[in-house]
Structure 1
Amino acid sequence: MKIKRFTAETMREAIRNVRETWGPDAVILSNKKLGNGVEITAAIILRKRKWRSWPPRWRALPLL
């Protein structure tokens, strides 16, 4: 999961920034007004790589 804060002058502009950056799969975690605009905290779940596509040295590492 990747989390990022987006700031803009308006909520509409901030949401547009989230969609342009991460697309429709992004999830908005929170939003708040700032003195000069708004802030959105959004997240996206990154797709897991298949085990065989990992480099050999990564496959040798123990899983936690």
Structure 2
Amino acid sequence: SYDDELVAQLADEKEQVETQKATVVTAKANIESQKSSKQALQQEYQALFEKQNADLIAQEKAAAQAAD
């Protein structure tokens, strides 16, 4: 009957929406994970940059003292 078809169609659409919702939740989790990884990499890069800068300053000081 028409009612049965309508109920079946609504059930199918509900299932599709549930699937889409699950996909969105997964995508959001992946984005959050990538964001965290990016932040960690940026912090690592910043720490490495600061260390290299400090090492360079120390080398320049040592070279200047050796020249004296």
Determine which structure has the larger helix proportion and give its number: 2
User: Which structure is larger by alpha-carbon Rg, 1 or 2?
Assistant: 2
Could you say whether these structures have the same fold, taking a TM-score greater than 0.5 normalized by the shorter chain as the test? Answer: no
Determine which structure has the larger strand proportion and give its number: 1
Normalising by the residue count of structure 1, what TM-score does the alignment of the two structures yield? 0.25
Normalising by the residue count of structure 2, what TM-score does the alignment of the two structures yield? 0.24
